[in-house]
C-alpha cells in the first residue's frame, strides 16, 4: 500500500461525510469532496444563472439612452451595472468548482449553455423597465432568496449580496410604475400593456411544472434547491397579486382568484409550449441577444489580450525582483 492511498479516506467514507454535511444543513466548500453529479449540477446551474445576469443587461440597457430624465437614467444605469456585478460574482462561484470563466462564456456563445427564457422578450416602452424591475426582479427574488441557504458555500454567499440588490431593483421598478400610474391615461395604458406582455413570461421563469422537471428532485435532495418550481411560482403569485391591486393594474389571467380555504391564489396555466419554443431558441429576441453577446465578446478581445500581457509583465517583474 502506498503512503498516499493509506492517507486518503475510502470512497464510501467520502460519500458518507458528504451526505452527513448535507443532512446537517452544513455547507459544502470548494476543497471538500463532492459527487461528480453534484459538481456538474452546480456548474450548470451557476453558469446558467451568471449568463442570465449578463444577457439580462441587454433588454433594459437599450433604454439607458432613452430614459425620460436624468434621475431615471442614473437609476437604470446603476441597475444594469448591478446585473453585470451579479454575473461576475456567479462566474467566480462557478470557478471555485474547477471550471474556467472563459470556457463558460464560450459555451454560452456557442449555444451549449442556456440563460433565462425571460430575456428573449422585447422591451417596447419605458414602462417595460418598470415591469421588469417589479415582476422579473421580483420573480428572481422568489427564486434566489432560498438559494442563500443552498448547500454549496460560495453560491449561497454570492446570493446574499445579489438578493439585497435584486430587492432594490424590484422597489425601483415598482416606484417607477407607481409614478406612471399617477400620470396620464396614456402612461397608465403603457403600464397595463407592459404588464399584459410580461406576466406570463414571468411565471415561466420558475421553469416547467414539477411533473416535467425531472432534475428538481435530485437538486432538492442535495439542498442546492430548496423548493419546487411550482411552489416558487405560487409564492411569486401570492406576493405579487396584492402589489398589482395597489398599483391599479389587472393581471391578464381570468382564472386568477383568491382561494378562501388556502388563503393563497389559484391561477391559470402558462403556455408551456411557448416556454419550450423560447428555451429552444425560437423566442422573439433569442437571435438578437446572442448576436449582441457574441459581438460584445469579440469587441472585448483586445481588453483580454491587454490584461493577459499586463499580468505576464507583472509576473516577470516580480520574478526579477525576487531573483535580485
Pairwise CA distance, residues 60 & 132, whole Å: 8
Cβ pair 55, 61 in contact under 8 A: no
Minimum CB distance to Fe ion smaller for 82 or for 253: 82
Q: For the CB of residue 53, give the shortest distance to Fe ion in the complex, in Å.
A: 5
Is 60 a binding residue for Fe ion by CB under 5 A? The answer is no
* CB atoms closer than 10 angstroms to residue 207: 20
Of the candidate spans 60-68, 70-78, 135-143, 304-312, the one that interacts with Fe ion by CB under 5 A turns out to be: 135-143
Which one of 60, 128, 137, 253 is in contact with Fe ion (CB under 5 A)? Answer: 137
Q: For the CB of residue 162, give the shortest distance to Fe ion in the complex, in Å.
A: 6
Q: For the CB of residue 145, give the shortest distance to Fe ion in the complex, in Å.
A: 13
Strand partners, 152: 28
Minimum CB distance to Fe ion smaller for 59 or for 270: 59
Which one of 72, 169, 233, 289 is in contact with Fe ion (CB under 5 A)? Answer: 169
The candidate with the shortest Cα–Cα distance to 112, out of 281, 275, 274, is 281
Minimum CB distance to Fe ion smaller for 63 or for 267: 63
Minimum CB distance to Fe ion smaller for 87 or for 207: 87
Say if residue 48 is exposed, middle or buried (CB neighbours under 10 Å; 0-12, 13-18, 19+).
middle
Of the candidate spans 53-61, 88-96, 269-277, 316-324, the one that interacts with Fe ion by CB under 5 A turns out to be: 53-61
CA-to-CA separations, 234 to 29, 129, 224, 242, 269, in angstroms, rounded: 32, 24, 20, 13, 12
Strand partners, 258: 265
Minimum CB distance to Fe ion smaller for 86 or for 233: 86
Which one of 38, 49, 138, 166 is in contact with Fe ion (CB under 5 A)? Answer: 166
* Greatest extent of the chain over all pairs of C-alpha atoms, in Å: 82
Minimum CB distance to Fe ion smaller for 125 or for 144: 144
Q: For the CB of residue 169, give the shortest distance to Fe ion in the complex, in Å.
A: 4
Q: For the CB of residue 282, give the shortest distance to Fe ion in the complex, in Å.
A: 25
Is 86 a binding residue for Fe ion by CB under 5 A? The answer is yes
Minimum CB distance to Fe ion smaller for 128 or for 137: 137
Of the candidate spans 8-16, 77-85, 100-108, 223-231, the one that interacts with Fe ion by CB under 5 A turns out to be: 77-85
Of the candidate spans 26-34, 60-68, 131-139, 216-224, the one that interacts with Fe ion by CB under 5 A turns out to be: 131-139
- Give the number of residues in contact with Fe ion, rule: CB under 5 A: 6
Of the candidate spans 37-45, 86-94, 101-109, 204-212, the one that interacts with Fe ion by CB under 5 A turns out to be: 86-94
Minimum CB distance to Fe ion smaller for 21 or for 45: 45
Is 83 a binding residue for Fe ion by CB under 5 A? The answer is yes
Minimum CB distance to Fe ion smaller for 28 or for 162: 162
Pairwise CA distance, residues 178 & 191, whole Å: 9
CA-to-CA separations, 106 to 3, 40, 43, 55, 176, in angstroms, rounded: 40, 17, 14, 14, 36
Of the candidate spans 45-53, 113-121, 142-150, 214-222, the one that interacts with Fe ion by CB under 5 A turns out to be: 45-53
Binding site for Fe ion (CB under 5 A): 53, 83, 86, 137, 166, 169
Amino acid at each position: 500500500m502506498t503512503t498516499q492511498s493509506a492517507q486518503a479516506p475510502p470512497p464510501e467514507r467520502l460519500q458518507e461525510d458528504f451526505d452527513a454535511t448535507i443532512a446537517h444543513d452544513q455547507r459544502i466548500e470548494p476543497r471538500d469532496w463532492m459527487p461528480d453529479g453534484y459538481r456538474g449540477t452546480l456548474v450548470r446551474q451557476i453558469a446558467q444563472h451568471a449568463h442570465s445576469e449578463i444577457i439580462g443587461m441587454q433588454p433594459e440597457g437599450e433604454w439607458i439612452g432613452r430614459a425620460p430624465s436624468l434621475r431615471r437614467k442614473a437609476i437604470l444605469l446603476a441597475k444594469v451595472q448591478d446585473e453585470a456585478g451579479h454575473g461576475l460574482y456567479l462566474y467566480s462561484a462557478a470557478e471555485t468548482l474547477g471550471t474556467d470563466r472563459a470556457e463558460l462564456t464560450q459555451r454560452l456563445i456557442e449555444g451549449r449553455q442556456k440563460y433565462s427564457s425571460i430575456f428573449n422578450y422585447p422591451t417596447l416602452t419605458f414602462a417595460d423597465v418598470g415591469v421588469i424591475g417589479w415582476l422579473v426582479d421580483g420573480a428572481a427574488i422568489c427564486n434566489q432568496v432560498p438559494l442563500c441557504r443552498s448547500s454549496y458555500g460560495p453560491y449561497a454567499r454570492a446570493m446574499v449580496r445579489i438578493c439585497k440588490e435584486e430587492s432594490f431593483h424590484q422597489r425601483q421598478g415598482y416606484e417607477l410604475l407607481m409614478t406612471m400610474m399617477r400620470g396620464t391615461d396614456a402612461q397608465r395604458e403603457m403600464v397595463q400593456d407592459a404588464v399584459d406582455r410580461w406576466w406570463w413570461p414571468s411565471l415561466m421563469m420558475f421553469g416547467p411544472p414539477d411533473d416535467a422537471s425531472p432534475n428538481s428532485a435530485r437538486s432538492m435532495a442535495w439542498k442546492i434547491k430548496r423548493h419546487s418550481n411550482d411552489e416558487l411560482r405560487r409564492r411569486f403569485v401570492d406576493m405579487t397579486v396584492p402589489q398589482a391591486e395597489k398599483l391599479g393594474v389587472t393581471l391578464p389571467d381570468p382564472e386568477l382568484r383568491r382561494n378562501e380555504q388556502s388563503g393563497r391564489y389559484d391561477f391559470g396555466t402558462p403556455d408551456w409550449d411557448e416556454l419550450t419554443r423560447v428555451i429552444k431558441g425560437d423566442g422573439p429576441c433569442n437571435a438578437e441577444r446572442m448576436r449582441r453577446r457574441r459581438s460584445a465578446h469579440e469587441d472585448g478581445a483586445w481588453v483580454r489580450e491587454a490584461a493577459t500581457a499586463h499580468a505576464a509583465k507583472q509576473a516577470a517583474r516580480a520574478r526579477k525582483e525576487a531573483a535580485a
